[in-house]
Structure 1
Amino acid sequence: MEKQQNSGFFKQPKAVWAVAFACVISFMGIGLVDPILPAIAAQLHASPSQVSLLFTSYLLVTGFAMILSGAISSRIGAKQTLISGLILIIIFAALGGFSHSIAQLVGFRGGWGLGNALFISTALAVIVSVATGGSAKAIILYEAALGLGISVGPLAGGELGTISWRAPFFGVSILMAVALLAILILLPAIPKPQKKVSIGAPIRALRYRGLLTLSLAAFLYNFGFFTLLAYSPFVLDLNERGLGYVFFGWGLLLAITSVFTAPAVERALGTVRSLILLFVLFAADLLALAIWTDYMALVISFIVIGGGILGMVNTILTTAVMGAAPVERSVASSAYSSIRFIGGAIAPWLAGVLADHYNAHAPYVAGCIAVLIGMAVLIGGRRHLANIKAGH
C-alpha cells in the first residue's frame, strides 16, 4: 500500500492514459462550440438564447442520463459502457456537423450529451480503480484531463471554425474514433460488479446530507460556471480564432490550478473552508464581469482569472464527493454529476433570456447570485461535511 501511495503521479498504466486521452476529447465537447456560437447564430439565423440551447440540451441530457449510467455500467461492464458512450459521441458529433437548422443541431447535441453521460461517469470510476497512487491522485489526473479538454476545445473550435462552423463537430467525431481505438486496445476487460446498481441508487444516495450538500452547491456553482462559458462569447467582439484563444487561456489556467494549486489550498484550509473561499472569489469574478461588461480587455482578464478559480473548485468538489457518502464511488459520482450538470443546463438558456429582456450585465449578476447561494448551502451544511478530510 505504501509503495502504491508513493508511486509517481505520471507513472500510470497505459489503460489510465487511454481513458484520460478519451476524457480530454470528451471534455473538448464542452468548450468546442464556444468560439463558433456567434457564427452559428449568424448562419442558422438564430438568436443568442436559441444558440445557448446547444449547451442546455447537451448538459440537460447529460445530467438526467447520469442517473442511469451507474445501473448500465453494472450490467454491461465499465469497458462496454465507455465504448457505448464513445460510439454515441462519434455519431451525434458527426450528425451535428451535417445540421441545417438550429433545432437539428440542438437535438444532435442532446444525443451527444447521452454519450457524454455514459462516458464521463464511468471514466472517473475506471481511472480511480485502475490508477496507481490512490484515489486523490486519480481524481487530480481526471480533473487535469477535464481542464486540458476544456482548454483545447475552444482552441480547436476557434481554429477549425475559421474553415466552417461545421468543422469542429467533424473534428471531435474523428478524434473520438481515435480515442475509441485506444480504449479497445489498451484498456483490459474490467470485471462486472458482483452487485448490480439499481436505477434509483443515485437518488437514494442523496439521503446522505454530505453528498446532498455538495451536490446542491455544485448545482449553483455550475450555474455560474456555464453562465461565464456560454454567454461570454456574445459579449466579446472577437472572431472565432480570437474567442478560441481567450477560452484556451481560461481552460489552461483551469487545468493548471486543478492539478497544482487545488491540493495545496485544500491541505492548507480544509475542504469546506477552501470551497467557501473559492465560491466567494468566483462570485466576485462574476460581479466584476457584470460591472465591466463593456470593457473587452477587462472581460478577457476576468474570464481567464475565473478559469483559475474554477479549476480549484472542480478538483476539491470532486475529491470531496468521493468521501461524502458510504456508497460506491460510481453511485456518488452519478448522483453528484447529474445534479451539477442540470444546474449547468439552466444557466446558458437563462443567460440568453436575461440578455434579451434586460441588458448584457444581467446574466453575470444572476450567476453571481447563484454562486453566493451555493456558498450559503456549504455554510449551512458544513456540519455534514466535517468527516471529509483534505486530500483523502
Structure 2
Amino acid sequence: MPTATAPARTAIPREIWILVGAAFVIAIGFGIVSPVLPAYARSFDVGVAAASVIVSAFAFFRLVFAPVGGELVSRLGERPIYLAGLLIVAASSFATAFAQSYVQLLVFRGLGGIGSTMFTISAMALLVRLAPPSARGRVSSTYGSAFLIGGMIGPVLGGLLAGLGLRAPFIVYAVALVIAAAVVAIGLGGARLEPAQNRADRDVVTLAEAWRSPVYRAVLASGVANGWTNFGVRMAVLPLLAIAVLDEPWVAGAALAIGAVGTAATLQVSGRLADRIGRRPLVIGGLLVMGTTMGLLGVAQHPALSVGVGLAVLFGLSLLSGVGAGLVNPAQQAAVADVVGHERNGGRVLSTFQMAQDGGAIVGPILIGVVADVFGFGTAFLVTGLVCLVGVVPWLTAPEPLTHHAPVGETTA
C-alpha cells in the first residue's frame, strides 16, 4: 500500500534539524551541570536535604510557570519565547556560577527553571508547526534522541570540567546556551516560516476544546505516568535501589546508562512505527513494558538472590524499562501534535501536557520515596509499575490519533 511507506519518504525540514541541533547542545549543557550541582550546593555549608532542594527548585519553577509559558507562546509566538527562554537559562547559569550564598544559588537556579519551561513549550509548539503530519513520530524521536544522547555525553564532560572548579561547568553551560540561541535566531529568522506563525492572531486551541478530545485526556494520563516513572523515580529512586543491591559507586550510574541505551536504541525505530502503525499501540505497549519492568525492579534486592544475579536483574530490567520509555515518548508527543493540528496555536494545550509530565516527575519520587522508607523498595517499584498501568486505561477507549488527526476544533463541531 503506498501510504504504508509514505512517512519514511517525507523529508524532515531544515528548521527542525536546527532545533534538533540546539536540543543536543542544551542537553549536553544540562548534563554538564547535573553531576556537580549537589556538590556545589554543599559547598555553601548546607546539608543533603538543602542540596536536594536546589535540584528540585528547577523542576518546581518549570511546573508553576508552565501556564504562563503557554500563554506567552499563544500571545507572542513560538520563536521569540524560545529564544528568550534560552537566554534566561543562560543568564541564570552564569549567575549561578558566581552565587555568593545558598539563597542566591536557590534563586538563580529557580529562575533557570522559568526559562527552561519557556523554551520547552515553545520548542514543542515549533515542532507541531513545522513537522509534516506524516512524519510527526520521526520528528519526535529525532528530537528526543538529541536530548538523550546529549544528556549522556554531558555528565562525562561535567566531570572533566569539575577539575577546573565547581563553578566552571555553569559558565560553560551559559556560553553553550548563548551559542544555541544565536544558531536558532539565525536559522529560524523567519525566511521559511509563515508570517502567521509568530503572530498572536492565529486561531488558538483552547483547553476546553482539547479536553473534549479523548486522545488529549489519554495523553495527559500517560504524561503523568511517564514523568512519574522516567523523569522522577528512575532518576531519584532507582540509583538508591542500585546501591542497595551493591554499594559501589559505579552501579547506580551503570543502571541509568543502561536504561538510556535502551531508550536511545528504541527511539531509532519507534518514531517510524508511530507514523506507520499509529500512536496508540506504541503508547499502550510502552506503558505496559514500563509498568511490568519497573514493577519487578524491586526483585533485584531480594535476599534470596546473589549479588551477581541481583545485578543481572537490575541491569536487564533497567534496559527493558528504557525500551518502554523509547516506545512511549515519540508516539505520545506525536499524539499531542495530532490534537493541536498543523495550523493552530496550541501553547496552552502544550503547557498543560508539560505540566502533567513535570507534576509526575516532582510528586512521584516524593511519594515513592516515602513508600520505600516504610515498606521497602519492592513495594515502591510495584506502585510505580501500577501507575504506568493506570496510564494505559484512557488509551484503551481513545481513538487512534493517526487516523483521526483533524484538529480538535474540527472534530467537535
TM-score w.r.t. length of structure 1: 0.80
Matches within 5 A, 1:1-392: 7=9, 9=11, 12-13=13-14, 15-28=15-28, 31-32=31-32, 34-36=34-36, 39-40=39-40, 43-44=43-44, 48-99=48-99, 103-131=103-131, 134-161=135-162, 163-189=164-190, 190=193, 191=195, 192-193=198-199, 195=201, 201-202=206-207, 205-225=210-230, 226-234=232-240, 235-236=242-243, 237=247, 247-264=256-273, 267=276, 270-293=278-301, 297-298=311-312, 299-324=314-339, 328-350=345-367, 357-358=373-374, 361-362=376-377, 365-366=379-380, 368-383=382-397, 385-389=398-402
Cα distance in 1 between the residues matched to 2:379 and 2:32 = 25
**3-state SS of 2:237 partner:** helix
Is the contact made by 1:216 and 1:340 (CA closer than 8 Å) also made in structure 2?
no
Cα distance in 2 between the residues matched to 1:305 and 1:238 = 23
What's the CA shift for 1:260? 1.7
Cα distance in 1 between the residues matched to 2:396 and 2:259 = 30
What's the CA shift for 1:181? 1.5
Cα distance in 1 between the residues matched to 2:73 and 2:298 = 42
Aligned CA distance change for structure 1 residues 253 and 12 (closer, same or farther; 3 Å):
farther
Is the contact made by 1:279 and 1:372 (CA closer than 8 Å) also made in structure 2?
no
Cα distance in 1 between the residues matched to 2:8 and 2:167 = 46
Kindly, what percent of the aligned residue pairs are identical? 20
Structure 1 unmatched runs, 5+ = none
Amino acid at match of 1:336: F
What's the CA shift for 1:8? 5.8
Aligned CA distance change for structure 1 residues 244 and 367 (closer, same or farther; 3 Å):
closer
What's the CA shift for 1:321? 2.0
What's the CA shift for 1:31? 4.9
Cα distance in 1 between the residues matched to 2:99 and 2:160 = 20
Cα distance in 2 between the residues matched to 1:330 and 1:90 = 23
Aligned CA distance change for structure 1 residues 244 and 334 (closer, same or farther; 3 Å):
same
Cα distance in 2 between the residues matched to 1:197 and 1:68 = 18
**3-state SS of 1:91 partner:** helix
Aligned CA distance change for structure 1 residues 178 and 150 (closer, same or farther; 3 Å):
same
**3-state SS of 1:389 partner:** coil
Cα distance in 1 between the residues matched to 2:379 and 2:100 = 34
Cα distance in 2 between the residues matched to 1:56 and 1:169 = 17
**3-state SS of 1:388 partner:** coil
Is the contact made by 2:336 and 2:350 (CA closer than 8 Å) also made in structure 1?
yes
TM-score w.r.t. length of structure 2: 0.76
Structure 2 unmatched runs, 5+ = 406-413
Is the contact made by 1:262 and 1:313 (CA closer than 8 Å) also made in structure 2?
no
Cα distance in 1 between the residues matched to 2:166 and 2:318 = 23
The structure with the largest alpha-carbon Rg is 2
Cα distance in 2 between the residues matched to 1:353 and 1:44 = 27
Amino acid at match of 1:255: A
What's the CA shift for 1:343? 1.3
Cα distance in 2 between the residues matched to 1:101 and 1:283 = 42
Amino acid at match of 2:126: V
Aligned CA distance change for structure 1 residues 197 and 109 (closer, same or farther; 3 Å):
farther
What's the CA shift for 1:209? 3.3
RMSD: 3.7
**3-state SS of 1:188 partner:** coil
Cα distance in 2 between the residues matched to 1:164 and 1:304 = 34
Is the contact made by 2:283 and 2:328 (CA closer than 8 Å) also made in structure 1?
yes
Q: How many residues align?
A: 382
What's the CA shift for 1:28? 4.2
Cα distance in 2 between the residues matched to 1:186 and 1:154 = 28
Is the contact made by 1:203 and 1:335 (CA closer than 8 Å) also made in structure 2?
no
What's the CA shift for 1:367? 5.0
Deviations 1:337-359 (A, max 9, x none): 1211121122344455556x448
